[in-house]
Amino acid sequence: STASLLILAGDGIGPEVMAEVRKIIDWYGAKRDLAFDVSEDLVGGAAYDVHGVPLADETMAKAQAVDAVLLGAVGGPKYDTLDFSLKPERGLLRLRKEMDLFANLRPAQCFDALADFSSLKKDIVAGLDIMIVRELTSGVYFGEPRGIHKEGNERVGINTQRYTESEIARVARSAFELAKKRGNKVCSMEKANVMESGILWRDVVTEIHAAEYADVELSHMYADAGAMQLVRAPKQFDVIVTDNLFGDLLSDAAAMLTGSLGMLPSASLGLPMENGRPKALYEPVHGSAPDIAGQGKANPCACILSFAMALRYSFDQGAEADRLEAAVNQVLAQGIRTADLMQAGDTAPASTSQMGDAVIAALDAS
């Protein structure tokens, strides 16, 4: 059956960058006989404006039924004063929660054309291609007990780091499965030296590895040492798997290895559906960028690269994902760049749609 995609463009620059992805999806249908059954719907402030909620029940049901969801961005100043439960972000959180998207994939990839753009030394980042898998639905952000209460005459703030065996096992499996499609190497990071949950994490990852993925290379690192290694010599890693808190920090740090927010894709995966594909949501890391929205300045690459991740991880089109990433690299190498990627001495920046058109042209030539 035809692969199905739900597009939720959202707010601000979301629809602008998604329009460029639409061109690329259409290109695949016309030129590569890789057709997608695409539907579009509203999320975030755009959904609130029409339905009075940031994600309508019908949209939630559609998201559950498709092979993959592609999301732009949500939020904007217009919605900042809304009730907490109506805020645009709640639409995204509802998707993640009800689809049970427990594995957050954040690649840190350095395109050759941008090796000079990074704040780090070129030889440290050139050719970098690593993937951080962050557990997204459990851990210290959710564990009970939590709260602020009074002990004697002072206040105490409490959060609980809590992981069940099955929560660790499923995210470990996601990481091993990914590694098989990449460099066949997983590094698991925790703090087993000082945390009980870290000891369990290391045990469960080791057990899953021995029982199901013995052919994948596994190593373990304390997360603090891992942070150091990530900045010192990031190319030693392929897939890193870690908990929600450490993953939050490590993935933001890794993001800056390679440069602009406008270049960073992400995926959030859940359990396999009946057809074997994981529940999946793909989105750029950036937000709705109200400061540049509506001006044709947004870099569409993060959203385009999110679609490349969908090709690779939902639709088993690894070769096409490689082709799309190579097209992006080629466009950057030609000096066609949006304003966020400009350096001193560069000429006029490309607009959002010029960037998208250039990627299509590079695909045509590939």
Return the number of the residue (90 or 337) whose C-beta is nearest Mg ion: 90
Return the number of the residue (27 or 141) whose C-beta is nearest Mg ion: 141
Residue whose C-alpha is closest to residue 284's, from 257, 297, 303:
303
161 binds, among Mg ion, ligand NAI, none (CB under 5 to 8 A by kind): none
Binding to Mg ion in span 228-257, by CB under 5 A: 248, 252
104 near 247, Cβ under 8 Å?
yes
DSSP code per residue over 181-244: TTTSEEEEEE-TTT-HHHHHHHHHHHHHHHHH-TTSEEEEEEHHHHHHHHHH-GGG-SEEEE-H
CB of 300 to ligand NAI, least distance (A): 7
The yes or no reply on residue 190 touching Mg ion (CB under 5 A) is no
267 binds, among Mg ion, ligand NAI, none (CB under 5 to 8 A by kind): none
CB of 61 to ligand NAI, least distance (A): 21
List contacts with ligand NAI (CB under 6 A).
13, 17, 73-76, 89, 92, 261-262, 283, 286-292, 298-299, 302, 338, 340
Return the number of the residue (192 or 302) whose C-beta is nearest ligand NAI: 302
Kindly list the catalytic residues. 141, 191, 224, 248, 252
Residue 310 φ/ψ, nearest 5 degrees = -60, -45
261 binds, among Mg ion, ligand NAI, none (CB under 5 to 8 A by kind): ligand NAI
Return the number of the residue (81 or 166) whose C-beta is nearest ligand NAI: 81
Residue whose C-alpha is closest to residue 246's, from 268, 269, 225:
225
72 near 40, Cβ under 8 Å?
no
CB atoms within 10 A of CB 186: 27
List binding-site positions for substrate: 96, 106, 134, 224
218 near 109, Cβ under 8 Å?
no
270 binds, among Mg ion, ligand NAI, none (CB under 5 to 8 A by kind): none
320 class by beta-carbon count within 10 Å (0-12 exposed, 13-18 middle, 19+ buried): middle
Return the number of the residue (128 or 303) whose C-beta is nearest ligand NAI: 303
CB of 252 to Mg ion, least distance (A): 5
Written in H, E and C, the secondary structure of 303-354 is: HHHHHHHHHHHCCCCHHHHHHHHHHHHHHHHCCCCCHHHCCCCCCCCCCHHH
CB of 286 to ligand NAI, least distance (A): 3
Q: Can you give the C-alpha Rg of the chain in angstroms?
A: 21
List binding-site positions: 76-89, 96, 106, 134, 224, 248, 252, 287-299
CB of 48 to ligand NAI, least distance (A): 13
341 near 260, Cβ under 8 Å?
yes
354 near 17, Cβ under 8 Å?
no
Residue 184 φ/ψ, nearest 5 degrees = 65, 35
CB of 259 to ligand NAI, least distance (A): 11
248 binds, among Mg ion, ligand NAI, none (CB under 5 to 8 A by kind): Mg ion
345, two tokens? 């001495």
283 near 266, Cβ under 8 Å?
yes
CA distance 359 to 330: 8
Return the number of the residue (139 or 300) whose C-beta is nearest ligand NAI: 300
Task: State which amino acid sits at residue 282.
Answer: Y
Chain positions contacting Mg ion, by CB under 5 A: 248, 252
